[in-house]
Chains A and B, each alone.
Chain A
């Protein structure tokens, strides 16, 4: 039995970042990379299911990520936390893929691995599309549930019982056919700590590389041509023009009158 966990290496902004020359992303020099926070929870959920089983050895937790070599660091973290295997899919053609194209890749990996469950995070902290997991379910034509904050599942079972967070504090309890795709919400568990020692040991474990060909995909399935959206530009909005007027009432009134005049171009 197998649980596949799709993870992403996200980027966080360092101090004083710069926008890339083409204006569509941040200059990579200014990004600090780490495993997406949501994925910490979905991996933990898979690990817990494995550890709670009667024979944990029969359950395989496989982490998969789509990305360049730098992503290995995040996959190592998954291995350090106990994942049995790690897969990384990359091809230069994948650059500029949107979540739909990534989902196409993930669906192909899922077909190849044939897991009993696919977990993904609700969203990624950098781009926040919240669609990769669900789009993967669509490609697979599998049942899915989003924003899962409680899960009751025994590997091999035909169904899983889970709870979802809805708007307005509502909760929904759901019974779902397996295999299925679940996007996992923060707080469903407490992710374990990957000690540096375990990360170092994980460095010795192999990360399996998959190419597009391995997944029976072609370059057109991914990248901009395989995507349904494309980033036009990324920018910081201009600073707001609010200002705080200080002083006594008379000063404030005078200043306010001035501003109104300035605004109307009367000065």
Chain B
């Protein structure tokens, strides 16, 4: 008997009723297909882009990410767990339903194959029952996060619009979220009710009734129904009604996928598939054939960026991580993405493309992004790094800035700085000739790597060359290298600003000038490896110069010094007993994963390292990136560096706040003073601590 047990589908349905149901089914599929077509047409209206690497490797990475939920677990394990329940619950139920269709509509009528019965069916029932519970549990957790926990990152209020602006907090998003959750909960729970009603209705059929505990939730509900006096006849009617309700709702859900946030099932997967692991580290070049640099119109974004916009699930993690948002600047990476998504939705989904004028994404209108927003970004990568669906905000922001730069729509101070860099090769407006002048204070002569071969070529960078406080650090580092017997030299005035920040400002032409000038200076010198004390230079030389023909082996000083300690060239003679914390510079940490070397060095020096809450990948930007070091933050409001100083001050007994980036030293020493925390602890460059532990 068990061998023939199977799901009751259309029993007792009249032929017309079945036909009506199929009509709805086909309508849902048609609506779905049309929606998918419209979305794909929208993405195809973006600029062309050829992805690097094999599709196979990309697919594997995507599938592994989707199945493991690694990216959703990060910094919010509860959300990860709940989403995992929903994902696996939904997937199993979907596969279950798809299998029914497969047999009922294809295999059986065409080939007479029936597999969906007997033990297979029973196990199947059990699995689906559990899947349904998982789905509903996950959905309820999501409701609790929204309704009761009221997580700040799920608040859609925007820092770049004021209350009253139609785009301020987007109530339609809130409604959509709730509608989505409720629809799935209702589909899931009516499925169970349906199951229970079916059991009561068919209680006389042993093949159904005797195997009911294979669908435990249904069986319990059936018992409940019987308890309240439902008989087989009543149950048949109830089942009939529920069947239609459940069926139509499920079909409507499918039909609506491409039109609602549900589409993230596809767009998020697509986003992972198209992901560029170096999106923030290596910005795209401007094709020589490009009529204009950067993005002016929505169609100037490439298809992958348009897909990114639709992948965003509004999870708010980037919003939470963004240092600009944290200090009240008019920027939230989430809102940049959502604005552009709304813009693309409004302009690119109809049959005909609107006039170019209506495609302009710059401005203060609905869906447009204002220059104040774009200039607030520090290209710190906190957003790109945490996004669970591989949205790449930085190239989007920088490409929009390129257009602003072309139009000169920027702070006059920034204009001045760019002009200065063009004229003198450095942001300090100092004479080129003075670039190596800091080395005159050394008791020995630094080798000129342009004139003689060296083992290690030290790329010094602007701040370490010209800023008086950082010059001291440079002198200390030079002395340490000398003492360790390293054969090294610098390029003197052959070196220019590395261009990392110029590129992130969006002045690509100037970046090209700087990069090619440095590349030819480096190429003309003889050395084995490049070392730099500046994480910004490190990033661009390592990740971006290769695109311009400059392939050099480069390391940050922390790995080189660690090496010198490991092979005994440097030795700690006076261990430091400081209680310290370490600030991961964006360009060393998040950008290039240089988390370990500085920490190992601190341990070697004998320091006790206490981490701040926001460390490593979640390190909080000092606020200087993306060219913002050249444009002071507004007075009267907290600066990111000040915010960070307060975080550090909460560490009991903290003595030294350790940095390993010249810009950090400048920013944090300043912030320590302005927050009134001076005297509580000091800011030191790691190089200075090394010196202290190895008294000359």
Identify the A interface with B (CB < 8 A). Answer: 14-16, 32, 34, 190, 192-193, 195-200
Contact = CB atoms under 8 A, between A and B. Distances in A.
A32 B431 CA distance: 9
A50 to B, nearest CB: 16
A200 B431 contact: no
Given A32-B423, A193-B415, A15 B510 contact: no
B410 A193 contact: yes
Contacts of A198: 406, 509
B391 interface: no
B371 to A, nearest CB: 13
Interface in B470-492: none
30 contacts: A14-B431, A14-B433, A15-B431, A15-B433, A15-B434, A16-B433, A32-B423, A32-B424, A192-B407, A193-B405, A193-B408, A193-B415, A193-B418, A193-B419, A195-B293, A195-B405, A195-B406, A195-B408, A195-B507, A195-B509, A195-B510, A196-B507, A196-B508, A196-B509, A196-B510, A197-B286, A197-B406, A197-B508, A198-B406, A200-B509
B297 interface: no
B320 interface: no
Given A15-B433, A15-B434, A197-B286, 20 more contacts: A15-B430, A15-B431, A32-B423, A32-B431, A192-B407, A192-B408, A193-B405, A193-B418, A195-B408, A195-B507, A195-B510, A196-B422, A196-B512, A196-B513, A197-B293, A197-B406, A197-B508, A197-B509, A198-B406, A199-B509
B412 interface: yes
B511 to A, nearest CB: 8
B516 to A, nearest CB: 11
A192 B419 CA distance: 11
Contacts of A199: 509
A205 to B, nearest CB: 16
Contacts of A196: 422, 507-510, 512-513
Among A195, A198, A200, find the residue whose CB has the most chain B CB atoms closer than 10 A: A195
A197 B509 CA distance: 5
Of all A-B residue pairs in the complex, the 7 with the closest CB atoms, nearest first, are A196-B509, A197-B509, A193-B408, A192-B408, A15-B431, A196-B510, A193-B415
Contacts of B412: 190
Nearest to B431: A15
Interface of B: 286, 293, 405-408, 410, 412, 415, 418-419, 422-424, 430-431, 433-434, 507-510, 512-513
A32 B406 CA distance: 25
A190 B509 CA distance: 22
B411 to A, nearest CB: 11
Nearest to A44: B408
B408 to A, nearest CB: 4
A190 B513 CA distance: 25
A198 B422 CA distance: 13
A101 to B, nearest CB: 29
Contacts of A193: 405, 408, 410, 415, 418-419
B636 to A, nearest CB: 24
Nearest to B508: A197
Nearest to B422: A196
A60 to B, nearest CB: 22
A34 B408 contact: no
Among A192, A193, A200, find the residue whose CB has the most chain B CB atoms closer than 10 A: A193
Contacts of B422: 196
A16 B432 CA distance: 12
Nearest to A196: B509
Contacts of B431: 14-15, 32
A245 B423 CA distance: 41
A43 to B, nearest CB: 13
A193 to B, nearest CB: 4
B409 to A, nearest CB: 9
Nearest to A198: B406
Contacts of B408: 192-193, 195
A15 B436 CA distance: 13
A67 B508 CA distance: 31
A190 B415 CA distance: 11
Contacts of A190: 412
A199 B408 CA distance: 13
A199 B286 CA distance: 15
Contacts of B507: 195-196
Contact of A34 (B405, B410, B423): B423
A120 to B, nearest CB: 22
B401 to A, nearest CB: 12
A16 B431 CA distance: 10
A94 to B, nearest CB: 26
Nearest to B510: A196
A192 B408 CA distance: 6
Contacts of A197: 286, 293, 406, 508-509
Nearest to A193: B408
Contacts of A15: 430-431, 433-434
A190 B408 CA distance: 10
A195 B506 CA distance: 10
A10 B672 CA distance: 42
A192 B434 CA distance: 29
B439 to A, nearest CB: 15
A132 B509 CA distance: 34
A136 to B, nearest CB: 28
A202 B393 CA distance: 32
B596 to A, nearest CB: 38
B506 to A, nearest CB: 9
A3 to B, nearest CB: 20
A195 B402 CA distance: 10
Contacts of A14: 431, 433
Nearest to A13: B431
A59 B617 CA distance: 55
Among B406, B412, B509, find the residue whose CB has the most chain A CB atoms closer than 10 A: B509
Contacts of A32: 423-424, 431
Nearest to A199: B509
Nearest to B419: A193
Contacts of B512: 196
Contacts of A200: 509
Among A15, A192, A196, find the residue whose CB has the most chain B CB atoms closer than 10 A: A196
Contacts of B509: 195-200
A7 to B, nearest CB: 16
A196 B508 CA distance: 8
A114 to B, nearest CB: 31
A257 B433 CA distance: 44
Nearest to A192: B408
Nearest to B513: A196
A14 B405 CA distance: 28
Contacts of A16: 433
A189 to B, nearest CB: 12
B285 to A, nearest CB: 12
Contacts of B424: 32
A200 B406 CA distance: 13
Among B293, B431, B512, find the residue whose CB has the most chain A CB atoms closer than 10 A: B431
